[in-house]
Structures are given as structure tokens and as C-alpha cells.
Chain A
């Protein structure tokens, strides 16, 4: 699975760095380093909905607070 996090200005201000860090931690904790590829992109064109995240082709609007939930509901079931 490929997770892309927006690191453009708007999402950056809303905490995309924290989102990236939490995802990195969760990937490590669950030993998914070889199954989940995490990458950054500048702007997905939906600045109002930041932090913008894509898991493969599905779009999610995250904040640093709901990363865990997103990981449990939308990442884990799709990689196990």
C-alpha cells in the first residue's frame, strides 16, 4: 500500500509533519515497513480538507489526532 501525505504549506501548518511522524511510528510498531510505502507530495489541491492523505487511490482528511484511527480502520485491514 502506498500512503501519500501532503506536505504543502497549508497541510504543513495543519500538522502534516506530525501526521508523517505518527504514521512512521505506526508502520514501525506493526512491522509493515515492507508493505506500506510512505511518501510526501506538495499539494493535492484540497487545501481546505488538510491534512490531505491518500492511501492508494482513496482520499482521507486527517489531523494529527486521528492518525491512529485511520491506521486501524483504513490501513491495517488492507495490508494484512
Chain B
């Protein structure tokens, strides 16, 4: 892997499984080789990540299942691979061997619950029956001897959907989960993962008979500008056509369409929340149902554009490619289902390219230019608010926009809480579940500091400079 295509080895392992499953599917040999895939990935007798090759292969077997769509009886697109869960310690605040048994005992003074006591060596101990996990003791210890042992998945899940089951493995509460994929990206053992619909995509491409039976459209999220950084965006577009897509269209054009009509809707209703991020919308549904009435009635940019494509070509099949695991849940919604035929992530697209040995760095550059600057910057936090202001301006709508861009689901929660108590000083909530916006999505190949700058740069390269310019001919 000369060029670093992924952030972590967990993603790389997942990718190897996806690539192999895809390779077999293209060749119509998946059924006969299904059980051999784990051994193809971990051959020999030396384990690479776990205690023995047999456990590794058992886990890979589960990953193969996820690559093929996962547990059909579980409606959630995010699932725990039980046997991959390492049952991380989750004891909360604990005193480590770094405790020097000092004289000061700041920890004892800081603890308001009297949970700290000392043994004959003056070493601190925490009485878990009294501790409320506030962390004050850890904060004041001059030796940093008190640490918080929490499971990475639980730390990642800001909506508190993850608990520990009786077998000590992670468990997801489907009623609380918003499918953002934070746990998928953060679990160091890859024990939580998103279901894949690559087989569905391969099937759609195959049955199109090279786009003669129907045409297959790829809608690509604007966060792609920060992805596949080892190649040119134009080469990714060519690669998609080599894979079998009829054409490639920017989801950002759908974003332009949304910004245009959302500006109007906002001025009519006086208060709105965005509806672009499916994880944010799902969060409102589960935690703030009384605020649902304020959610913009626009479909997301993905669904808006897919709907338009199907209006130009009835038999079209539309596949969304993006950074988002929650889009996989969105496509199953009744109001989105008719327009979007499948959803895959950038991770999965990389696996599809490699399953057909398509080295995109060797391809010619095609063009991708459908949207305006404003549609493109939807990919990062704050972009939607900027686009909305522009939409109001271009339509000469007299409305005093006070947008609050919420970066990450925790900021969303605070804003929604304030709104529910009628103390929010804003008339528009831009809700993005992932930190940074879509560029922080769990399905990205890589996440980096420069991603926001990449999105803005890509935005400025758009031929159309206004939302009206991009949408006027539709």
C-alpha cells in the first residue's frame, strides 16, 4: 500500500474484505468461495491481530457477512460484531500505579462524595459505590495518576446509544442510535461496523448491461474533494465510469436546489432546522420529537437530486457515494426510497475500484462540474448556513437570518435543548452530526486538518458562482 489510503488498519481490514467480496461477486463466484474468503485474507498459521488464526478467520467471517448486507433481522445499518469486541475495560475513573501516595491528597479534597480513601501506603482508592464519575479527582492529581477507563465506542457515541451487554460486549440501542458511525470509526478493534450494500450496487451495474437496460447514475458527495487525495478528482470520475456508471453528478447540485427552496421556506415559516444530515434528523425524531415540525420539508441534497434525475430518466438507477453511514438508513425512509437505489461510502468505492483492479492514478481526467460554490461547501460545517444566506440574497428575500451552525451532535443537542425551552437566539439551526461536517463522516477514507480547506478550494473551482446559476436550467 505505497500510498496511505486509509487512516487506520481497521479500515484497511474492512476494505480487504469488501474488495474480496466484490471481486467474487463480479466474477459470479461469491457463493462457491464465500467460506474461503477469511482464509484468503489470513492465510497460513500465524495470527496477525488476534490470539490465533481461527479467531481471526471467525471474525473475518462476520465481516464478510457485513460486507454482504449484515443481519437482515436487525433494522439498524450499524451493527456490533460480537466476537470482535475485545470487551475493553470500562471501569470509569481508576487510580493507577502512578499514585505516589503523596501528602497533599488533593484528590480526597476534590471529591465531593467522599469516595476516596487511602491504604497503608497512602495510595488512593476509589470506592465505586460512592463515585459518580465526575472526574474532579483526576483533574487535580499532580501526577495524572487517576485515569478514566471508558470504552472508545462509548466515548465516541455522544447520543449514549451504546451500553455493555451481559456478555461484556458492546450493544447498540437501536432507538437511540442515529447511524452517524462515530463508533464504527473509533472502535480500535473494528467491532462495530456499517452494513454494506456493495453487492446491491454490483448487481445494479451488472443488470444494466453496460447502461443499455437502464442507466446507472452516481451522485457524489462534495466531501469527495478531500478524499482520494493520492489521485485527481477527475480520475475518480473516470474510474466510476470504468466501473460501469453511466455518468457522475455532484450531490452539491442537489444542495444548491435545497439552499434555494430552503431560503424560501425559512422566510415563510420564520424558524427552521436543516434536513440535510440524516443523523441529525434522526436525533430530533428520537430525542426532540416536539421539534420535528421545525425540520425543513426539503429532502436532503442526495434525495432532491436523485428525484430530479428520475424525473429526467424514468428507468434511472441512482447510487449515492459519500462519507456517510447514516445515508444508508436515510435511503430506507419511505420518502427517499423511490429515488435512491443504493448508498455506498468512499471506503467502499475504494474497495470496488480495487476489486476490478482499476488504478485510478493511471486514468485520464474526466470533468465534474454541476454545482455552485455554495452547493459544494455543504460538505463542511457552516457551509449550509452560508448557502442559505446566499439563497435569501439571490432571491431578494427580506429576512434577517440568524443561523446557528452546530458542529457535531453535541452542539446540535445544546441548540435543540435551547429551542425546546424557547431560549434559542437563532432562527435557523444547521445540524451536522459529525465534527467538521460531512468531511468528518465515518465513511471517509481519511480525515485531516486540511479537509475544510480542500472543500473550500473545490467550491471556488466551480464554474457556476451563484446558486441561481447552477439551478436555473433545471
Within B309-337, which residues are at the interface with A (CB < 8 Å)? Answer: 309, 312-313
A74 at the interface (CB under 8 A from B): no
| Contact partners of A43 in chain B: CB under 8 A | 246-247
With A and B bound together, what is the CA distance between A42 and B254 in angstroms?
A: 13
- Chain B residues touching A, majority SS: loop
With the chains together, A42 CA to B135 CA distance in Å? 56
Q: Interface range on chain B: under 10, 10 to 19, 20 to 34, or 35 or more?
A: 20 to 34
Q: Which of B400-426 contact A (CB under 8 A)?
A: none
Chain A interface bracket (under 10, 10 to 19, 20 to 34, 35 or more): 10 to 19
**Given A13-B463, A45-B246, residue A40 in contact with residue B473 (CB < 8 A):** yes
Pick the residue among B246, B313, B367 that contacts A10 (CB under 8 A). Answer: B367
| Closest chain A CB from B74 CB (angstroms) | 35
| CB-CB contacts below 8 Å: B447-474 with A | 463-464, 469, 472-474
Interface residues of B (CB under 8 A from A): 211, 217, 237, 246-250, 309, 312-313, 366-370, 463-464, 469, 472-474
* Residue pair A8, B247 in contact (C-beta under 8 Å): yes
Interface residues of A (CB under 8 A from B): 5, 7-10, 12-13, 16-17, 20-21, 39-43, 45
Cβ distance A2 to chain B, nearest Cβ, rounded Å: 12
Asked if residues A16 and B370 are in contact (CB atoms below 8 Å), the reply is no
A12-B369, A12-B463, A13-B463 known; A42 vs B247 contact (CB < 8 Å): yes
User: Taking the nearest CB of chain B, how far is it from the CB of A54, in angstroms?
Assistant: 12
**Contact between B370 and A12, CB atoms less than 8 A apart:** yes
Q: Is B313 a contact partner of A9 (Cβ separation < 8 A)?
A: no
CB-nearest residue of chain B to A5: B473
The interface residues of chain B lying within 8 Å CB-to-CB of A39 are 312
- Kindly state the separation between the CA atoms of A23 and B369 in the bound complex, as whole angstroms: 22
Are the C-beta atoms of A40 and B474 separated by less than 8 Å?
A: yes
Asked if A13 and B369 sit within 8 Å, CB to CB, the answer is yes
A9 close to B246 (CB less than 8 A): no
A20 touches B367 (CB 8 A): no
Task: Considering the complex, give the chain A residue whose CB is closest to the CB of B246.
Answer: A43
B241 to chain A, nearest CB (A): 10
State whether B473 touches A13 (Cβ < 8 A): no
Residues of B close to A7: CB separation below 8 A: 370, 473-474
Q: Can you list 17 contacts pairing A with B, beta carbon distance less than 8 Å?
A: A5-B473, A8-B247, A8-B370, A9-B237, A9-B367, A9-B368, A9-B370, A10-B366, A10-B367, A13-B367, A13-B369, A13-B463, A21-B472, A39-B312, A40-B312, A42-B217, A45-B246
Complex alpha-carbon distance, A10 and B312, angstroms: 18
